[in-house]
Amino acid sequence: MTALSEYNPIVILVYFLAVAGLAMFIMNPVLLFVSFFGSLLVFYTLNRGKRDRSKGMFLLLFLLLALLNPIFHHNGTTVLFVVNDNPITTEALAYGFTSATMVVSVIYWFRSFSTLMTGDKLLYVFGKISPKFSLMLSMALRYIPLFADKFRQIKAARRALGLYKQDNLPDTLKSNLKAFVALGGWSLENGIVTADSMEARGYGSGRRTFFSRYVFKKRDLAALIVLLLLTSAVVAIKLSGSLNFVFYPELNGELLNKRALWAYACYMVLTLLPVIGEAAEREKWKSLRSKI
């Protein structure tokens, strides 16, 4: 995806804060359904052609979160069935699936965020406000994929040496634990090397200079206004009570009232803006190629 990445980092940050923030603070099933599919569509559009090996893990996480709630919480008036004298209610099941949708969608939003918001973009956004915080945040985001790659390298090395057993689940867990211990040792050593390198380069010895290659253009201002208008519309409808939905003691709320439909439409447009921009860029590119 090039359309969203070409905008100013401030616009990218506001976009992800808007889509993820609305999903986290509005427990409305329809809006979270829109957020879930929007986050998947944006993520796979952003990572087109790349294999996502973690989708099975997130599917398992979704099912786990959705089913744990009705198992451990038995609130609600509509009993579906009883397991060991514990009632499984429709309300608890609905809340479990809604909360699972929220959690997984927010995770995918932040996965897309970590792909687009590189270290230099984070330094640009937070550098003048808090240089130490921006540096710490950019390093943290960098180390997440770095640790994942190093963990795979350690497992591959142990497998090549014949030390990685996969005969059964206990052997697999034991081997993964040993690989994780090795990763911990490597991360500590790497942290010391990084600190020594920063000290040798003079970090913290004087006043910090600031350089950025990003310029806030008119199109960035226009995009920011559109984002704020769409977000404000959803927030205003939420404050009016039209998006309220109650799960306990029974499901109560009008999901498809007129104001709610406007909120769903605004949020859908908000989530799909990167996909729309990418589609427009492709059509423009095809048009230019056809004229050659």
Q: How far separated are the first and last CA of the chain, in Å rounded?
A: 24
- Tell me the average pLDDT across 153-170: 75
Find all residues with CB under 8 Å of 89, minimum gap 6, and list them.
Answer: 70, 74, 75, 76, 77, 78, 79, 80
Name the average pLDDT for the chain. 83
What confidence tens digit (pLDDT) does each residue in 206-242 have?
A: 666 666 678 888 989 999 999 999 999 999 999 998 9
Crossing angle of the two packed helices 119-126 and 131-160, in degrees rounded to 10: 160
More confident residue, 227 or 135: 227
What confidence tens digit (pLDDT) does each residue in 184-202 have?
A: 888 888 878 877 887 787 7
Name the percent of the chain lying above pLDDT 90.
Answer: 27
What confidence tens digit (pLDDT) does each residue in 142-159 have?
A: 777 788 888 888 888 887
pLDDT at 134: 66
DSSP-assigned states of every residue in 197-236: HHHHTTTTSSPPP--------HHHHHHHHHHHHHHHHHHH
pLDDT at 53: 75
Q: Does pLDDT of 114 surpass 90? A: no
Name the percent of the chain lying above pLDDT 70.
Answer: 90
User: What are the tokens at 186?
Assistant: 């490597």
pLDDT at 1: 44
Which of 79-93, 117-131, 234-248 has the highest average model confidence (pLDDT)? 234-248
CB environment 101-128: b (16+ within 10 A), e (fewer): bbbbbbbbbbbbbebbbeeebbbbbbbe
**Which helix H or strand E contains 83, and what residues bound it?**
strand 79-83
> What is the CB-side half-sphere exposure of residue 220 using CA atoms within 13 A?
14
Q: Does pLDDT of 92 surpass 80? A: yes
Alpha carbon distances (Å) from 262 to 140, 241, 266: 38, 13, 6
Q: How confident is the model at residue 267 (pLDDT cuts 50, 70, 90)?
A: very high
User: What are the tokens at 100?
Assistant: 């699972």
